[in-house]
Amino acid sequence: MPELDPGTPRPSRRTMLKGAAGVGAAGLAASALASVALPAAASIKSPVRTTRGPAGEGAGDQAIVVHVRDAASGEIDVFRGTTQIRMHDRDLAARLVRASR
């Protein structure tokens, strides 16, 4: 499909890396979080799904990776295959932060 207007410019790799390091939160593989229960669907606010790349290709490992972008606001990114879901859950974020210590 031809290119869609992506809206605002996206952050650079460096910005993303800086951001990941700067929030003081945890980016954790889900396998390390077996003891942390996922919240009920009702507690997930404003999930945003983004996908780039060819469907079904490049998915590679189907590990689920969770990145707590901002523990205070509960902003969490969940990566799987070639997808990324943005969710907001302060309780889950807080539990992930506790589990990471």
Partner 1 sequence: MSSHREAPEISKDPVADSTDLYAFVSPDKPGMVTIIANYIPLQGAAGGPNFYEFGDDVIYDIKIDTFGNSKWDINYQFRFSTELGNPETFLYNTGPITSLTSPNWNRRQVYSVTRIDGAGEHVLGKNLACPPCNIGPLSTPSYATKLAAPAVHTLGDGSKVFAGQRAEGFYVDLGSIFDLGNLRPFQNLNVFGKAEGLSAAAGVNATKLLNVHSIAIQVPIGRVTRKGRPIIGVWTTASRQRVRILDPEAGKVITSGPFEQVSRLGNPLVNEVVIAMGDKDKWNSQRPHNDSQFTHYFAHPELAALLPVLYPGVFPNLAALVASKKPRVDLEAVLLTGVPSGIIPGFSTFTGTVQADLLRLNTSIPPSHSPNVLGVLGGDLAGFPNGRRVFDDVVSVELRAVAGATYPLIDPTFTPDAAAGELTDGLTPASLGMPFLDHFPYLGVPFDGYDDPAS
DSSP 99: H
Q: Which of 36, 44, 64, 94 binds partner 1 (CB under 8 A)?
A: 64
Least Cβ distance, residue 93 to partner 1 (angstroms): 18
H helices of the chain, in order, are: 13-22, 90-100
- Decide if residue 22 touches partner 1 (CB under 8 A): no
Min. distance of Cβ 12 from partner 1 in angstroms?
Answer: 4
CB 55 within 8 A of CB 98: no
**Dihedral sign, CA of 92, 84, 49, 73?**
positive
User: Could you tell me how many residues make up the chain?
Assistant: 101
Nearest to 66 by CA among 74, 83, 78: 78
CB of 81 to partner 1, least distance (A): 7
Q: Which residue has the tokens 């969770």?
A: 66
Q: Out of 10, 19, 21, 45, which residue is the one contacting partner 1 (CB under 8 A)? A: 10
- Tell me if 12 contacts partner 1 by CB under 8 A: yes
| Binding interface with partner 1 (CB under 8 A) | 1-3, 5-6, 9-16, 27, 29, 50-54, 57-58, 60-61, 63-65, 67, 79-84
